[in-house]
Chains A and B, each alone.
Chain A
């Protein structure tokens, strides 16, 4: 069974379009995250939700909007896509919002904006 899953795995779209990435975890975790990995492999947190409540909102353009319908799901919607949004987006989950918990990552979604 996949612990943290993301769909789609690959996403190719044109500038200006709106797209969503879905994430689901079956680990029973309370906290979920979105990270962005750029072309140089640098990983940076974007958002975090704990029990469906937003607890981390880094300096991310407001074209990015996370939504957590329940504890097991955290989706990422991106409006008006730009070339610079091309990256790999990782969803992750952990047992709680404390740093003591390790995070388990999904397989990533490679977004290419043309």
Chain B
């Protein structure tokens, strides 16, 4: 069975602090894909990144960075110098090798960035 766990339910930081959102996954597939989505207070789901299981390179996009470690089945997301606009619910998700595109979501982490 596939599973995604985001153990941090809520995180509160002060603006300009760095924050890391944890994501741990379980799958028996050898090929799989990991995603992060952002859900701001307005409610829409915004795609942030996709990572393939065979590509363990870390990725940086502006203030966002992702650390993928197959050895620990983790795909953590770090926001550097957080801003109030980063306040949102962040979801980690997993898709396996079946040809359905089915996404398994974690429970989400609510990030509150205070000014």
User: Is the pair B44, A99 in contact by a Cβ cutoff of 8 Å?
Assistant: no
User: Is the pair B95, A99 in contact by a Cβ cutoff of 8 Å?
Assistant: yes
Contact of B101 (CB < 8 Å), options: A31, A42, A106? A31
For A27-49 the 0/1 string (1 means CB < 8 A from B) is 00001010100001111110010
Give the contacts of B17-51 with A (CB-CB under 8 A): 32-33, 35, 37, 39, 43-47, 50
Known: A99-B32, A108-B44. A41 touches B108 (CB 8 A): yes
Known: A41-B107, A43-B91. A103 touches B47 (CB 8 A): yes
In the bound complex, residues from chain A placing their C-beta under 8 Å from that of B107 are 40-42
Smallest CB separation, A88 vs chain B (Å): 7
* A53→B43 CA distance, assembly (Å): 29
* A108→B41 CA distance, assembly (Å): 13
Contact of A105 (CB < 8 Å), options: B45, B102, B110? B45
Total contacting residues, chain A, CB less than 8 A: 31
* A63→B107 CA distance, assembly (Å): 26
In the bound complex, residues from chain A placing their C-beta under 8 Å from that of B35 are 102
Total contacting residues, chain B, CB less than 8 A: 27
For B40-64 the 0/1 string (1 means CB < 8 A from A) is 0001111100101000000000000
In the bound complex, residues from chain A placing their C-beta under 8 Å from that of B105 are 42-44
In the bound complex, residues from chain B placing their C-beta under 8 Å from that of A44 are 105
Which of A90, A96, A102, A110 is most buried by chain B, counting CB atoms within 10 A of its CB? A102
For B83-101 the 0/1 string (1 means CB < 8 A from A) is 0000001010001111111
Smallest CB separation, A2 vs chain B (Å): 11
* A40→B107 CA distance, assembly (Å): 8
* A36→B70 CA distance, assembly (Å): 29
* A87→B95 CA distance, assembly (Å): 23
Known: A48-B100, A99-B32, A99-B95. A107 touches B89 (CB 8 A): no
Known: A40-B107, A99-B96, A105-B45. 15 other contacts (CB 8 A): A33-B103, A41-B39, A41-B107, A48-B101, A50-B101, A55-B100, A92-B45, A94-B101, A99-B95, A99-B97, A99-B98, A100-B33, A100-B95, A105-B46, A107-B44
